[in-house]
Structure 1
């Protein structure tokens, strides 16, 4: 028969293993309280299509009281769309999220002509998304954002050369 102390240690060890195996999902949830939601699910729950976020999101943080959020990629990400728009995401980017509105964004930029400009706001108006760089904005139909772009190749990642073209409503409009 085992002494009482050895029985206590024998019972405590499996409990410790169970605790340690459940701890990482709680940490990676970023305090959002719902470990089942991905960053893509979060976007959809606020009215956005998943394709405004590139593939490779490994987690996010969200303060539900303020809407402050950040998304974590497994590295920085850049790609071109239709050869005219180049986008760049830092490995950590974010801002504030509300229904149909992303504001005070940081870590996401677009190359216009030869300048890199920060995208500071995205607003969903009906079936269009309006991206603002502060001094100008461009509007695109939401159906252009049903597929998440891949870092490096954007939407043109198939070996058969099939290109998904992005269509815009207004190329540039001032605010």
Structure 2
């Protein structure tokens, strides 16, 4: 064995370790885990996120779904466009675009979502609705929201 064999082996081991360490630390959080990092429940996003972008300095974000998503929570009918955006900060989403609620016959944009004690408030500007934040630990399913028992879905 040549005198250079051991340093080469050490270099290869270091390079492999560095590459694996970098790949593991550079993995992108899921959108649901990213929301949780801002002290918001992941269920503010329905199931089916395919990708997202987040500027951690400004809080600007975009979340992408394959298609629009509609479901009902209690008596509120909600619609998420295929791309939603806004600004996220701890316990608060503002300038929200792409999420709306049906009020009587009209769709109204939800502008803000924020934690208020143990409640999660959805605001349309002039009015808001509060729900227990704990109810949003799971994400709603497009089509049936949180009440999907007995319904079959194809993937």
**Shorter-chain TM band:** 0.7 to 0.9
Alignment: residue pair count: 128
Match of 2:79 in 1: 88
Match of 2:38 in 1: 46
Q: 1:79 aligns with which of 52, 71, 78?
A: 71
Q: TM-score, normalised by structure 2?
A: 0.77
Post-superposition offset of 1:151:
0.6
Q: Distance in 2 between matches of 1:81 and 1:71?
A: 21
Post-superposition offset of 1:141:
1.1
Q: TM-score, normalised by structure 1?
A: 0.69
- Write out per-residue CA displacement over residues 130-149 of structure 1, whole angstroms, 9 at most, x where no aligned residue: 11101111121111112111
How is 1:89-104 mapped onto 2 (pairs within 5 angstroms)? 89-104=80-95
- Runs ≥4 residues deviating over 2 A: 33-36
- Write out per-residue CA displacement over residues 42-99 of structure 1, whole angstroms, 9 at most, x where no aligned residue: 11000011111100001100111211001011211001123x1100000100100000
How is 1:6-85 mapped onto 2 (pairs within 5 angstroms)? 34-82=26-74, 84-85=75-76
Q: Distance in 2 between matches of 1:143 and 1:34?
A: 30
Q: Identify unmatched segments of 5+ residues in structure 2.
A: 1-22
Post-superposition offset of 1:34:
4.5
Q: Distance in 2 between matches of 1:79 and 1:142?
A: 18
Q: Distance in 2 between matches of 1:34 and 1:91?
A: 26
- Write out per-residue CA displacement over residues 109-128 of structure 1, whole angstroms, 9 at most, x where no aligned residue: 01122221100001112211
Match of 2:11 in 1: none
Q: Distance in 1 between matches of 2:114 and 2:133?
A: 11
How is 1:145-156 mapped onto 2 (pairs within 5 angstroms)? 145-156=136-147
Q: Distance in 2 between matches of 1:100 and 1:90?
A: 22
* Inter-CA distance 42–90: structure 2 relative to 1 (3 Å threshold): same
Root-mean-square deviation over aligned CA pairs: 1.7
Secondary structure of 2:141's partner? coil
Post-superposition offset of 1:36:
3.4
Q: Distance in 2 between matches of 1:70 and 1:47?
A: 18
Q: Identify unmatched segments of 5+ residues in structure 1.
A: 1-25, 27-32, 161-175
